[in-house]
Amino acid sequence: MEDNIKIKLNIGDRLYPLTIQRSQEFYFREAAKVIEKTVKSLEENYSVRDKQDLLAMCCIQFAAKNLQNKSKSGDSDTEVEKIILKMIDDIDKSILTS
């Protein structure tokens, strides 16, 4: 049986009740803090006051960052794969010339 707990997160002046795994509580609470901080920053830097618009802008920022990170991760995976293939090729050449 999973160890589920019920928590309430306050985001954009609204409470969101969630049932999550106890082991994930820290991450959900930290995510709520990051969202609140981002919403406040957007509110200070833009003339937008509607919480729904601010939350949408926040979501767009997070989604864009997530896609950027996935792209960077994919690039590094490709680079690692190239390095590994070169190493295998070098080992094969070394074995053949021995």
Task: Give the Cα separation of 76 and 39 in Å (integer).
Answer: 31
Whether the CB-CB separation of 7 and 27 falls below 8 Å is answered with: no
- Please tell me which residue, 92 or 82, carries the higher pLDDT value: 82
Domain span at 84? 4-97
Q: For the chain, how many structural domains are there in total?
A: 1
Task: Give the Cα separation of 27 and 62 in Å (integer).
Answer: 15
Is the pTM here over 0.75, yes or no?
A: no
pLDDT tens-place string over residues 6-31: 999 999 889 999 999 999 999 999 99
Tell me the average pLDDT across 33-57: 92
